[in-house]
Copies of this chain bind each other. A is one copy, B any other.
Amino acid sequence: MPSYTAPTKDMQFLLHDVLKITETDIPGYDELEPDFTSAILEEAGKISSEVLQPLNAVGDTEGCTLENGVVRTPTGFKAAFEQVKEGGWPGLDMPEQYGGQNMPYLIGTAVGEMFSAANQAFTMYQGLTHGAASAILAHGTDAQKDMYLPKMVSCEWTGTMNLTEPHCGTDLGLMRTKAEPQGDGSYKISGQKIFISSGEHDMADNIVHLVLAKIVGGPEGIKGVSLFIVPKFMVNEDGSLGARNGVTCGKIEEKMGIHGNSTCVMNYDEATGYLLGEEHKGMRAMFTMMNEARLGVGMQGLAQADAAYQNALEYAKDRLQGRDVTGAKNPDGPADPLIVHPDIRRSLMDQKSFVEGARAFILWGATMIDRAHRSQDKDADGLVSLLTPVIKGFLTDQGYDMTVQAQQVYGGHGYIEEWGMSQFTRDARIAMIYEGANGVQALDLVGRKLAQDGGKHVMAFFDLVKSYAKENAGQDEAFDRDFLEPLKAASKDLQAAGMYFMQNGMKNPNNALAGSTDFMHMFGHVCLGLMWARMAKASMDALKSGTADAAFHETKLATGRYYMARQLPATALHLTRIQTGADTVMALDAANF
């Protein structure tokens, strides 16, 4: 059975040595002293390893069951959910006013990685609630906030997002679910929603569904979509629960993975709903949830990759098979451990260098969100908005590949369910799809985010890389050679791709869109390259100042050198592909495929 150890040490290094969070001017960060963050991370790590991780396989094996409209979660989920609630984890970064602890999003993100790595299906119940609560926080009336948020911040009630219908996923303008105004401020919601994560279950007293629907008589298409709050049980004025609302779970989907989370078909049959935000502005309100959710999904890619990597590493150290060609490493044993073999090393280094780079990227992104929200910094908001599709798309594509690589280390034992490696792969697969399939992320990046605010944010990103390289050059020859030069080359590739889009996308947008996935990936590599340079610099500084933990920092440097030498050069291939434009991609008539 797999195990999971929370990366508290690595996170502390990132928060304090790399991001130096207490030195920033982000409101609330001054309290995040090393001892304080360490205490939180250690505690979160403990519940992850000891409570959530042991239920991961249980959730996969048992799944959720629907009987007479009631969904039962796997054995142990309910008790674990109580523990999570008692620890106050769901409200960690929620306002104190509603029972939260008002911590920065950064801390919620670090804890979220641990919970997701330990048990993604379980953590989704809490994650969706967080997203729904954020939408109510941003768009709700004071009465709505007072009615729903205290219960949702504590996870006494959970939340859902209802977008997809059988015939429409990405293209929500095709939506058929309708909302009829009742004259008293409420609406009757009717229609069917599918793929609703945590849609129905037995772990909360009430479920607050956020539902996209079209108000009857409103504008056609996406401009006629509004967002509604539809509680499973009606809520009385005093906060007590009233009658059952007209929303039921029609079916639980059989899925490839995340079996512990109930993915429901939800039927709305004249269910009472309340407008959240403005009429016909549902997409805007929903995007409050979506952007946060996309960062959370990117984090899942990293989290599953880390959990899978940790187990692959242990297996590679334990399993004796074959001999080191340069001389036996375990001469008294019947064979050497797998880890002596260069191709196993290559795979483990791919995984390790991705996981650590991705973690830095996510936490850096989280600081931008805090800066945007807590300091009302529009530049930070623009930059993280640009990077959101990269975080979601790149980290989940790569994260999935890493779970596949980790599974591969086990050979045949990776394919049977007994060892748990298949579950990491099957669970990680969904992250490439939900909250906008990765192709849609790439489209968002190239078709929308690049040009946003006149291209200001992408220029800011390039400036950021350039000034970083400039400021840190010339101090250490090896650092320049191993880190700054590859970073500059990769960033140049990315700029060349952006230039290609500008020059060729005008005459035919397909010249840009045909390269969108390549662009998203090369952007991700440049971000991880930047992160590795920053981490390497921090480790070099630590070593120079005579750190007590030289091994940690030497390892960090070696891992970074691997990434820069063997992963970052992928930008050149992506650029080559991008520069072929749309010609070969769009050559065929659909009928001739």
Contacts and interface: CB of A to CB of B under 8 A. Distances in A.
Interface stretch (A126-134, A237-245, A251-259, A282-290): A251-259
A499 interface: no
Given A418-B254, A570-B573, A562 B590 contact: no
Interface stretch (A153-161, A344-352, A471-479): A344-352
> Which of the listed residues A167, A195, A585, A587 has the most CB atoms from chain B within 10 Å of its own CB?
A585
Interface string A477-519: 0000000000000000000000000000000111001101100
A417 interface: yes
Interface in A316-367: 317, 320-322, 325-326, 334-335, 337, 339-349, 352
> Which of the listed residues A164, A407, A587 has the most CB atoms from chain B within 10 Å of its own CB?
A587
A173 B433 CA distance: 44
A585 B514 contact: no
Interface residues of A, number: 95
Interface in A261-284: 263
Interface stretch (A12-20, A206-214, A575-583): A575-583
B408 A432 contact: yes
A138 interface: no
A262 to B, nearest CB: 13
A527 B491 CA distance: 32
A429 B428 CA distance: 15
A187 B342 CA distance: 39
A538 B184 CA distance: 73
B508 A590 contact: no
A429 B170 CA distance: 28
B593 A565 contact: no
Nearest to A253: B416
Contacts of A416: 195, 253-256, 263
Interface of A: 164, 167-171, 173-174, 194-195, 253-257, 263, 313, 317, 320-322, 325-326, 334-335, 337, 339-349, 352, 400, 404, 407-408, 411-412, 414-418, 422, 425-426, 429-430, 432-434, 437-439, 442-443, 447, 508-510, 513-514, 516-517, 551, 554-555, 558-559, 561-562, 565-566, 569-570, 572-573, 576-577, 580, 582, 584-588, 590, 592-593
